[in-house]
Amino acid sequence: MITRLRIAEGKLVEADASNGQIHVYVAPDEAERKTLVETYKVDEHTLASALDPDELSRLEFEPDHVAIIFKRAKNYSSEDNFLFRVSSTGLFLFKDRLIIVRAEEAPLFEGRQFARVASLQDLILRLIYRAIFHFEEHLKVINMISGQLEQEINTAMSNAISSNAVLVDKLRNNAAKIGLTQEHVEFLEDISIENNQCQQQATIYSNILASLMDARASIVSNNLNVLIKTLNIITIGIMLPTLVVSIFSMNVDLPFPKDHPVPFWFIVALAAISAFLVGFIWWKKKL
Q: Report pLDDT digits (tens) over 161-214.
A: 778 888 888 898 888 888 888 889 889 888 888 888 887 877 777 777 667 667
Q: What is the SS3 assignment for 223?
A: helix
pLDDT at 257: 66
Please report the pLDDT score of residue 286 as a whole number. Answer: 64
| Torsion sign over Cα 277, 279, 280, 286 | positive
Rounded Cα gap, residues 144 and 206, in angstroms: 13
DSSP state of 181: -
Taking the model in full, what pTM does it have? 0.58
What is the model's pLDDT at position 259? 67
Q: What is the pLDDT of residue 254?
A: 65
Query: Got the DSSP string for 245-286?
Result: HHHHTSS---SS-TT-SHHHHHHHHHHHHHHHHHHHHHHHHH
Which residues, given as ranges, of the chain have pLDDT below 50?
Answer: 287
pLDDT, residue 134, reads: 81
